[in-house]
Amino acid sequence: MFNRKKKSAAAPKEPRFKTIRDAYSITKEVKPWIGVALAAIFLVVWILGIALGAFAGHPVYAGFVGLPVAILAALFFFTRVAGRAAYASIEGQIGAAASVLMAIRKGWTTTPAVAVTRNQEMVHRSVGRPGIVLVGEGGPGARGLLIDEKKKTERFAPGVPIYEVLVGDHDGQVSLQKLQKHMRKYKKKLSANQLREVRNRLKAVGGMSMPIPKGPMPKNVKVPKR
């Protein structure tokens, strides 16, 4: 009975076709040539498979076998391009780093905009087994905002490892596309009970209400995680 209630309460999953369609729409806006490229890859792989089959004396068989291979090749190319397009579609927007952090499927809980300046510099806080990661983005004032937020966080979570990340394209910064990969480099330092305690402590700190860029980030469009 409990399991049935739990299942019924769970949010229905978004149809895969819709996620692919949405991903294609966003990708086409950033890469208008994606449709032609996918068709070309599909045809080249399929024709090549048929040609090899004809050389071996089995063109029809090769055509049947080559069809799913051609589809997979086109889909593989699409996922790579869609991933880059997803980041490009939100890059430069307010809260882009928060959108990327919140797309991490498991292990991290992100609170966007725990600190914000009137110049739209901001800090987001992610909590996971490695500890607390403060991610700053925006203008040159983000570095100072990170330092202030770290001091504040240390008062609420003394002894917990705190890491600072500044999103950008300059030396010492982490690009938006590499942010998820960077988060996975941290080693686990907290037990499950310690993590639960840290999250409870930081609930009181909260964050600010802000618009997070909506787009087909890796979690939603099934593109490979970076």
Confidence band, pLDDT 50/70/90 cuts, at residue 23:
confident
For the beta sheet containing 108-116, the strands, ordered from the edge strand earlier in sequence to the opposite edge, are: 108-116, 122-128, 131-137, 162-166
pTM of the model: 0.67
In 3D space, the residue among 225, 163, 223 whose CA is nearest the CA of residue 24 turns out to be 223
End-to-end CA distance of the chain: 40
185 burial via Cβ count (<10 Å: 0-12, 13-18, 19+)? exposed
| Per-residue pLDDT tens digits for 197-208 | 999 888 866 655
Q: How far apart are CA 166 and CA 164, in angstroms?
A: 7
| Per-residue pLDDT tens digits for 140-192 | 889 999 999 999 999 888 999 999 999 988 888 998 889 999 999 999 999 99
Query: How long a stretch of residues is the chain?
Result: 226
Q: What is the reported pLDDT for 95?
A: 84
Q: What is the reported pLDDT for 208?
A: 54
Between 18 and 152, the higher pLDDT residue: 152
Q: What is the reported pLDDT for 8?
A: 43
Q: What is the reported pLDDT for 220?
A: 41
| Per-residue pLDDT tens digits for 92-117 | 788 889 888 988 878 899 999 999 98
| Per-residue pLDDT tens digits for 55-92 | 888 888 888 888 999 999 999 998 888 877 777 777 77
